[in-house]
Amino acid sequence: MATQAHSLSYAGCNFLRQRLVLSTLSGRPVKIRKIRARDDNPGLRDFEASFIRLLDKITNGSRIEINQTGTTLYYQPGLLYGGSVEHDCSVLRGIGYYLESLLCLAPFMKHPLKIVLRGVTNDQVDPSVSIENKPWCGFCFVSCHNPTCEKKVPYKAQFYYKCILLLLFTLRFRG
C-alpha cells in the first residue's frame, strides 16, 4: 500500500462514496482501512468495487490500490476527464447509487460526460432513475453554456440543461 503524508486516512466503510467523490473533487488522496474487517465477509462489496471502476473510467491518471482481502483501499484521484463511457453497474444496487455521485462530479469534468449505465433502474434502497433529475432543477447558480442547446433555456432550467442534459439524457438505461 502506498502511504503519503498528505493523504486523508479513514477507517470503516461508512460514507465510502462520499469520501471518494470529495477526494476526487479536492484532488487529495484517501486511504480507507478496516473496511468491514470484523465482518464474516470482509472487504469491499461488489457494488463498491463497481463504483471504484466507474471512477477510474471517468478520470485520467487515478491510482487505485486494494489489498487482497479488500479491507484497505488507497485512492489517488486523477483529472476528471469525462467523455463517452460505458459501465455495467452491479445488480446489487440501483443505477441511482452511481448516478448520485456522477451528478456531483459532472459539472467539474474537462469534457461533457456521455455515459451508458447498464443495471437495475429501480430498487428499494436507491433513488430511482426517474426522480434523479428533480432535485437539480432548482439550482440556478450555473449559467447555461451548452453549445448543443439550440433553443432558449428558461432561467430555472439553466443548470438542468448544462449538466443533466449532457448526463441524464445521454444515458441509455437498459434494465
- Pairwise CA distance, residues 3 & 31, whole Å: 8
Quote the pLDDT of residue 164: 34
- The class that CATH gives domain 8-171 is alpha beta
Quote the pLDDT of residue 120: 81
Q: Minimal CA–CA distance to 1: which of 21, 27, 30?
A: 30
Q: Say if CB 89 and CB 62 are below 8 A apart.
A: no
The set of cell numbers assigned to 124 is 428499494
What pTM value is reported for the model? 0.75
- Pairwise CA distance, residues 111 & 167, whole Å: 11
Instruction: Provide the residue-wise pLDDT of the chain in tens; the chain has 175 residues.
Output: 555 558 899 999 999 999 999 999 999 999 999 999 999 999 999 999 999 999 999 999 999 999 999 999 999 999 999 888 888 888 898 888 998 898 889 888 888 888 888 888 777 888 776 654 555 444 322 222 333 433 343 443 333 333 333 333 343 333 3
Q: What is the DSSP string of 68-101?
A: TTS--EEEE--EE--EEEEEE--TTSBHHHHHHH
- Pairwise CA distance, residues 21 & 3, whole Å: 20
